[in-house]
């Protein structure tokens, strides 16, 4: 049995115990505060969303930039130019990637939300028209492409090929590449033209989907950004008009404007960018970043 403590000792022990507990609480709180500050210390973060055409290039840029800038984080996602524009309009993204220029109605919608879109041309791209290597067709005019995709021509025999049905492949309507191909090829650049894709055109959600289908189907006809086209598929030479020169897509034919299906690639911000977003965009337009553009099969702007 423990000895009974004198009554005068008990209040003193209670006082010592209270002091000990208070000291422990202060030490624990200080330690917790220190750890919390470290975990929420400000980091440099950019959210980048939009075009599937640009997504591989944007990922390569982000990886390179982050490797030389510790603590800098860049989130890159695709989903299509339309998805990016919706995020810009709603002001839920720092930088939007787009393979087409922003539409006037998107600018109007953005301004209603207090968003002022600012445009940057960050690279250029050729849209390559591709077929299976077993397809003997090597050349097409823009008019022939328009007639194929609008449904006027349905058999490869009608454009110098074999007696086989044409399987039309396109990116889905949310894609900036789809919109550009519609305006430049099907409508031949005529803003008054209302020509649409044939209803039996197979709409695919990604560049990889078009590549895979063309690889498997000798009757397929597709289009894709030049940087996505692998060596095992055939690229068709395109003439702007009947009797004109047939030209294959390349960096040089985009720069000298002889390849007729080429476009600028864009990034958009809400207002003139500042801080880390400005620093990153300045780097994208630098020689180092533009070298990555060329390595991935796109066309540098500088």
More confident residue, 18 or 126: 126
What is the percent of the chain where pLDDT is above 90?
A: 82
Q: What is the pLDDT of residues 168-177, one digit of tens each?
A: 999 999 899 9
Residues 6+ apart with CB under 8 A from 246: 138, 139, 237, 238, 239
Average pLDDT over residues 276-281: 97
116 and 129 part of one domain:
no
- Residue 227 counted as domain residue: yes
C-beta of residue 51 within 8 angstroms of C-beta of residue 176? yes
254 and 151 part of one domain:
yes
Look at residue 12 and tell me whether its pLDDT is greater than 70: no
pLDDT, position 302: 75
258 and 167 part of one domain:
yes
What's the total number of domains in the chain?
2
129 and 116 part of one domain:
no
pLDDT, position 165: 98
151 and 98 part of one domain:
no
Q: pTM higher than 0.85 for the full model?
A: no
Average pLDDT over residues 258-267: 97
Model confidence at 21, pLDDT cuts 50, 70, 90, reads very low
What is the percent of the chain where pLDDT is above 70?
A: 86
Q: Which CATH number covers residue 165?
A: 3.40.190.10
168 and 236 part of one domain:
yes
* DSSP β-bridge partners for residue 117: 270
Its domain, for residue 208, covers 125-262
- Residue 2 counted as domain residue: no
pLDDT, position 43: 62
What would the DSSP string read from start to end of 126-149? EEEEEE-TT----EEEHHHHHHHH
258 and 155 part of one domain:
yes
105 and 170 part of one domain:
no
Tokens 């020509």 appear where?
A: 195
221 and 283 part of one domain:
no
């Amino acid at each position: 049995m423990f000895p009974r403590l004198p009554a005068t000792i008990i209040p003193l022990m209670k006082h010592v115990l209270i002091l000990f507990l208070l000291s422990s609480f202060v030490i624990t709180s200080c330690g917790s505060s220190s750890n919390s500050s470290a975990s929420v210390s400000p980091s440099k973060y950019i959210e980048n969303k939009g075009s599937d055409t640009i997504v591989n290039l944007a990922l390569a840029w982000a990886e390179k930039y982050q490797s030389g800038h510790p603590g800098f984080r860049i989130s890159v996602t695709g989903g299509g130019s339309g998805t990016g524009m919706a995020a810009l309009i709603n002001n839920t993204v720092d930088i939007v990637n787009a393979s087409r220029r922003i539409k006037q109605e998107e600018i109007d919608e953005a301004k209603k939300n207090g968003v002022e879109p600012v445009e940057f041309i960050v690279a250029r791209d050729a849209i390559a028209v591709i077929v299976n290597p077993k397809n003997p067709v090597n050349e097409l005019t823009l008019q022939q492409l328009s007639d194929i995709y609008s449904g006027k021509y349905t058999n490869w025999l009608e454009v110098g090929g074999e007696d086989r049905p044409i399987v039309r492949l396109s990116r889905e309507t949310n894609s900036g590449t789809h919109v550009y191909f519609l305006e430049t090829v099907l409508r031949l650049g005529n803003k008054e033209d209302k020509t649409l894709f044939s209803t039996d055109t197979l709409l695919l959600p990604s560049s990889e989907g078009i590549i895979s289908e063309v690889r498997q189907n000798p009757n397929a006809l597709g289009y894709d950004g030049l940087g996505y086209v692998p060596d095992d598929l055939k690229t068709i030479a395109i003439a702007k008009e009947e009797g004109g020169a047939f030209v294959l897509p390349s960096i040089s034919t985009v720069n000298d404007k002889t390849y007729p299906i080429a476009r600028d690639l864009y990034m958009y911000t809400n207002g003139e960018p500042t801080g880390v977003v400005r620093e990153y965009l300045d780097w994208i337009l630098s020689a180092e970043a533009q070298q990555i553009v060329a390595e991935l099969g796109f066309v540098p702007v500088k």
